[in-house]
Amino acid sequence: MRLSASLPLVAIAFYALAFLTQSQSAAQTVAATPPMGWNSWNYFAAKVTDKDIRDSADQIVASGMKDAGYIYVNIDDTWEDKRDANGLLHTNSKFPDMKALADYVHSKGLKLGIYSGPGTRTCANYEGSLGHEEQDAKMYADWGIDYLKYDLCSFHRDVMEKQAPNDKAAQMRLMVAAYEKMGKALKATGRPIVYSLCQYGWDNVWEWAPALGGNLWRTTGDIEPRWMSIYDILSQQAGLASYAGPGHWNDPDMLEVGNGKLTLAENRTHFSMWAMLAAPLLAGNDLPNMKPEIKAILTNRDVVAIDQDPLGQQAHRAYSKGEVEVWVRDLKGGAKAIAVMNVGSDVYSTHPFRLDLAKLGLHGTQKAKDLWTGKEMELTNDMALELASHDILLVRIASPK
Ligand code: GLA
């Protein structure tokens, strides 16, 4: 082949390689660390409006949450109206102009998330995306949407049970295909959109979600602002650590910090453990009316840094004794985070817990930082720890021995 004829080929190969490298790095930057932000469901549920989203975005900036890393402002269910003759889905009167809302949120340096599902109806019985996946994904991209939570709900009844009655394995294949379809549709828009799977952990979602573009996936049913709900979900995360990593995360559901009747200790423990789990940190409280002590929890930079550690290694439960559990997370550069929790409701300081450093792979006295008091401290073998019910000691050891 003459050189002049082969030149275009060389150019094509060069551009193809450049494109591939670019798109690979774009893929890597979506959710390289667990997504942080806020979602409307846990506090507003079906009542959420355009104004609530704008007020929450304003408050994320004013409260310092944005500076602490909270970027996504996510509209959950109940923004949808009906489809027109062309199949185009319209917003309902609570959200008069989604493009204008996206522009507003972006003008604050934040990103906007939205919600749908693969069935005919969403969980709150609004219009779903079945049969309109590409059209909906394109509409989200046109609006400037940066994050999609895709919730199974009626797909179970509409498609899985109808098309494969009494065949659970076939039902699960239909479910996986539905998530793959939206994953492809989002990718085809060319816009980086975080893809959040919400199907409650069915069929070991952590095994197959990353391959179809999932950046996070719910591992359980819905969280509630009660200690037992939070602890139950936490317990179900043990054993899932190896499935999380940059770009793809286990999602133990959105935060309830500041909601319901959780005590300060419970709020602190919930937030600490979601950080240990490398969980997405999506606050779910009433931001404009947030109490200072709740803001202090959500914006604790040291705890957020554990969640956002670039290694992306989720914590595992090292051991438990009585009602005390000890979880460990490996951090970048060989550092470690250790959480010691009194998960019981009736064991108090009259029975101090004694820390066994060897069970954590540590040898002798360790210099550590207590991430809730901000004070430097020493962890010694067999030291007595007195933790109030549902409270936590969370420390970072910069140079473990
Ligand atoms: C499901 C999800 C919740 C929320 C609601 C909305 O229950 O798990 O997080 O999105 O639907 O209807």
Mutate to test the pocket of ligand 1, among 75, 200, 222, 224 (most ligand atoms within 8 A of CB): 222
Predicted confidence band at 2 (pLDDT cuts at 50, 70, 90)? very low
Question: For ligand 1, atom 4, which residue shows the shortest CA distance?
Answer: 41
Q: Give the pLDDT score at 346.
A: 79
Q: Residue 278 region, left (φ>0) first, then alpha (ψ -120 to 50), else beta? A: left
CA of 253 to the centre of ligand 1 (A): 10
Q: Give the pLDDT score at 5.
A: 44
Question: For ligand 1, atom 5, which residue shows the shortest CA distance?
Answer: 123
151 classed as catalytic: yes
Residues 359-399: tens digit of each pLDDT: 999 999 999 999 999 999 999 999 999 999 999 999 999 99
Atom number of ligand 1 nearest to Cα 221: 8
Token digits of residue 177: 């295909």
Residues 295-351: tens digit of each pLDDT: 999 999 999 999 999 999 999 999 999 899 999 999 999 999 999 999 998 766 557
Question: For ligand 1, atom 3, which residue shows the shortest CA distance?
Answer: 222
Question: For ligand 1, atom 1, which residue shows the shortest CA distance?
Answer: 123
Nearest Cα residue to 127 out of 184, 93, 87:
87
Residues 24-77: tens digit of each pLDDT: 444 457 999 999 999 999 999 999 999 999 999 999 999 999 999 999 999 999
CA of 332 to the centre of ligand 1 (A): 34
Residues 242-299: tens digit of each pLDDT: 999 999 999 999 999 999 999 999 999 999 999 999 999 999 999 999 999 999 999 9
Token digits of residue 231: 């602890």
What are the Cα distances from residue 282, in Å, to 42, 256, 268, 295, 377?
A: 10, 9, 15, 13, 30
CA of 199 to the centre of ligand 1 (A): 10
Q: Report the distance separating Cα 391 and Cα 394, nearest Å.
A: 10
Residues 139-189: tens digit of each pLDDT: 999 999 999 999 999 999 999 999 999 999 999 999 999 999 999 999 999
CB contact set of 370 (below 8 Å; sequence gap of 6+): 376, 377, 393, 394, 395
Q: Give the pLDDT score at 348.
A: 62
Query: Of residues 55, 81, 222, 232, which has the active-site annotation?
Result: 222
What are the Cα distances from residue 350, in Å, to 147, 265, 319, 353, 385?
A: 48, 18, 21, 10, 11
Determine the residue type at 158: D
Query: Of residues 76, 77, 146, 151, which has the active-site annotation?
Result: 151
List ligand 1's pocket residues with C-beta within 6 A: 41, 76-77, 122-124, 151, 198, 222
Atom number of ligand 1 nearest to Cα 253: 9
Token digits of residue 40: 């409307």
Q: Give the pLDDT score at 25.
A: 45
